[in-house]
Amino acid sequence: MTPGDSGIPDDNSYRLSRSPGHLLRRAQQFSSETFADAGLGDGITFRQSVVLAAVAEAEGSSQSDLVRATGVDRSTLADMIARMERRGLVQRRAADGDARAKAVWLTKQGRSALDDALPAMRAADAALLEALPKNRRKSFLDILSLLAGASEEDEAQSDEGGSKNEKKSKDKKKKKKKKKKDKA
């Protein structure tokens, strides 16, 4: 796809109003503000509600699984889980088959906090979709799913030893070394 095909000017100018990254961040900001405006009294943040929802969808998931499910980076998620555990929202235990890994479960208090947060989560989702024409909502969700999937692929590749670009660079270096070795 050329820049002109994407709606981004191909004259080397840069406009925030046409920047996909910036527009996604603004849409996420809108969603977070809608969530906050719902006025949850127990202090659960939007990101915490996402983590609670991910744990509820797959009780006993490892923290690595939760990183992939939520998109929250590893160290931030570990800090969030530790704070949520201190608040009595989640419980961590050694994972089955790997005593080094920690599996996460919701507590009764965590389930209650998630139940309290669900109306705000639904309101944030509805506000995003209602901002779109009805005939574009499914496409919007499909595109977001594609982008999230691309992010998950990058995360998985990173866990395996690097991003796509890092792997390409390593492959090029290996080929150069092999050529030098073959010539010698």
Q: How confident is the model at residue 161 (pLDDT cuts 50, 70, 90)?
A: low
Query: Who has greater pLDDT, 128 or 158?
Result: 128
Q: Is the pLDDT of residue 99 over 90?
A: no
Answer yes or no: are the C-beta atoms of 38 and 119 closer than 8 Å: yes
Are the C-beta atoms of 66 and 154 separated by less than 8 Å?
no
Give pLDDT, residue 1. 43
The stretch 86-93 carries a mean pLDDT of 95
Q: What are the two backbone dihedrals, phi and then psi, of residue 39, each rounded to the nearest 5 degrees?
A: 70, 60
Instruction: Tell me the average pLDDT of the chain.
Output: 82
Q: How many secondary structure helices (H) and strands (E) does the chain include?
A: 8, 3
Is it the case that residue 62 has pLDDT exceeding 50? yes
Query: Higher pLDDT residue, 4 or 55?
Result: 55
Task: Work out whether the CA dihedral 37, 40, 43, 47 comes out positive or negative.
Answer: negative
pLDDT band at 89 (very low <50, low <70, confident <90, very high): very high
Centre a 10 Å sphere on the Cβ of residue 31 and count the other Cβ atoms it contains: 17
Please report the pLDDT score of residue 177 as a whole number: 55
The pLDDT confidence band at residue 181, using thresholds 50, 70 and 90, is low
Structure tokens at 162: 């690097």
pLDDT band at 17 (very low <50, low <70, confident <90, very high): confident
79 pLDDT more than 70 = yes
Which pLDDT does position 179 carry in this prediction?
Answer: 53
Contact 105, 51 (CB under 8 A): no
CB 123 within 8 A of CB 130: no
d(CA 173, CA 171): 5
- DSSP E strand boundaries for the chain: 61-62, 90-95, 98-106
- Show the tokens assigned to 107: 């507590």
